[in-house]
Amino acid sequence: MKEKGGRINWLIRHMMLITGLVLAVLLLVRGAAGTGLAESRERLTALLSGQADAGLEWIWRMNYPAAGYNDERETEAGKAEESISGFICRMIFGQSPLYRYLGREEDGERNYREEDPAFAGYLESGKFYEEHQYLMYDGGEETGAGTMEQAGTTVLAAGGNGADGDGNTGGQGTVAGGNAENGAMAGSPASEAGAAGGSADANAAGIPQKNENMTCAASVLPLIGTTYRKEQLADYDYMMKHFYSVHTSTTAGRDLMKADEFLAKDFTLEGKNDKPQILIYHTHSQEEFSDYGPNNKEATVIGIGTYLTELLTAKGYNVIHDKSVYDLQNGKLDRNKAYTYALDGVTRILQENPSIEVILDLHRDGVNESLHMVNEVNGKPTAPIMFFNGVSQTPEGPIEYLPNPYRSDNLAFSFQMQLDAAAYFPGLTRKIYIKGLRYNLHLRPRSVLIEVGAQTNTYQEARNAMEPLAEVLNMVLQGN
């Protein structure tokens, strides 16, 4: 009988213990729900300790009433000593990711040692954008220009140069066939080559040999625009004033913008055309021109990309035109995430075609509706183009989580094309635009984002720009 009573007592005690633990857990859940999302570890710790202590205290007293319970806590160095129950609960709940993410070191800094590294990266990027909120609202590649000056271009007279010499080609160099002031070059590349001891038939293609003083390519095309001396371009202030528009989200200092290094880079293609060499794609495939409609559905950036592909293919290049839609998700326009989706798509294409050496992301700009940019190039009304570089840098310094190993190469790539356009196709280009983020220009050393006209241009005006663009691109890729 005595043995039976002992077993019953043991059973009752353990049932009470289990019941108490269940009640303690329920109290914790209820308390946590009442607080919503815990604001700090201190609040969560107080909740855990208070509710758990109450539950365990009740269990202790029910089982060992004679032992009593000591509510007084000793202090050491002014800090409260943890109760056994609090320690146990903290050990159990410490395994929760939420509890760890809310954890802080004694100095108030977040403790990342036990966190998922991706979460730490998320917090760091959030902190960055909190400090640079203008990038969130102005991180796109559109300029939003309202005037010709803001757009970095000027209206050209037919076959002439910019009215103020400080527009799209960066002018106040030397106009070919005109005044050779300050020792700048004038005349055709053939005559320059002859002066240097070269020949107009220097190679099988009949392209003149390039003079070492030339800052533009040598070509059989007539040099009707503006050329520049190396001494002019070596002047940082001169180069930045005449060739670049720098957005307030970034800086382009003397340590980065070095004309001599840009000119020294050789972008001659290394591979042959038996494999893909050039990739053309569109981060914002839904960008349209002014005459887009049911009867003119090709009036988009994809349409001009198709034409550029045809022109480059005719020149012997092996070109892939990616027409994937990266800015529509579930039928809705999502331009903010388009660069992320495009990065995935382009990376896949590069993995499948590692021979690709050139990447062109074709866009059209967004400007004030009252601004219509058009120049006469090659005798045709042409929407000016704008080379665009992302430098992964704010005024405070590099954006560490956006590595850009080919930044200098891509700056040089666009700069060489800008010089060639100024020499052979005046009116074709606006000033090169530099902005703070990366814009997926980190995948190849011959990468560039190109804005072709704007939403106020017609499709034909934009299409007309592809012919001189193909010529300029060919000059740089041939190493002329």
Report for 15-24, 65-74, 199-208, 360-369: range of highest mean pLDDT: 360-369
Q: What is the DSSP string of 52-97?
A: HHHHHHHHHHHH-TTT-------EETTEEPPPHHHHHHHHHHTTSH
Q: At 214, is the pLDDT very low, low, confident or very high (cuts 50, 70, 90)? A: confident
**Could you please report the per-residue DSSP string of 38-53?**
-S-HHHHHHHHHHHHH
| Average pLDDT across the chain, whole number | 75
Euclidean distance between CA atoms 22 and 44, whole angstroms: 19
284: left (phi over 0), alpha (psi -120 to 50) or beta: beta
Kindly report, residue by residue over 237-271, the tens digit of the pLDDT: 999 999 999 999 899 999 999 999 999 999 999 88
Residues 395-409, mean pLDDT to the nearest whole number: 94
For tokens 């100095």, the residue is 107
> pTM to 2 decimals?
0.65
Which residue carries 């070191």 as its tokens?
Answer: 105
Task: In whole angstroms, give the CA distance from residue 92 to residue 102.
Answer: 15
pLDDT of residue 191 exceeding 60, the answer is: no
CA torsion angle for 456, 461, 467, 472 (degrees, to 10)?
-40
Of 24 and 87, which is predicted with more confidence? 24
Contact assessment for residue 471 and residue 424, using Cβ atoms and an 8 Å cutoff: yes
d(CA 409, CA 451): 19
Beta strand ranges found along 291-436 (DSSP E)? 319-321, 328-329, 332-333, 358-365, 375-377, 380-382, 385-390, 393-394, 397-398, 432-435
* Chain segment 30-56, per-residue pLDDT in tens: 555 554 444 445 555 555 555 555 555
The pLDDT, as a whole number, for residue 159 is 38
Provide Rg for the chain, Cα atoms. Answer: 34
CA dist 132 and 123 (Å) reads 14
**Which one-letter DSSP state was computed for residue 328?**
E
Cβ proximity of 271 and 354 under 8 Å: no
Q: Determine the distance from the C-alpha atom of residue 202 to the mean position of all C-alpha atoms in its chain, rounded to a whole number.
A: 41
Mean pLDDT of 172-188: 42
Instruction: Tell me if residue 118 falls in helix, strand or coil.
Output: helix
At 435, is the pLDDT very low, low, confident or very high (cuts 50, 70, 90)? very high
Burial class (CB in 10 A: 0-12, 13-18, 19+), 237: exposed
Can you read off the two tokens belonging to residue 143?
């300029």
List, as one string, the DSSP characters of 135-202.
HHHS-SS-----SHHHHT--PBPTT--BSSSSSTT--SSEETTS--GGG---S-HHHHHHHTT--TT-
Q: Which residues touch 332 (CB under 8 Å, ≥6 apart)?
A: none
pLDDT per residue as tens digits for the range 337-380 = 899 999 999 999 999 999 999 999 999 998 999 999 999 999 99
Q: How far is CA 380 from CA 35, 159, 220, 463, 464, in A?
A: 69, 10, 20, 10, 7
Q: Residue 73: its pLDDT value, please? A: 44
Give which of 433, 417, 280 is closest to 358, Cα–Cα: 280
Confidence of residue 192 (pLDDT cuts 50, 70, 90): very low
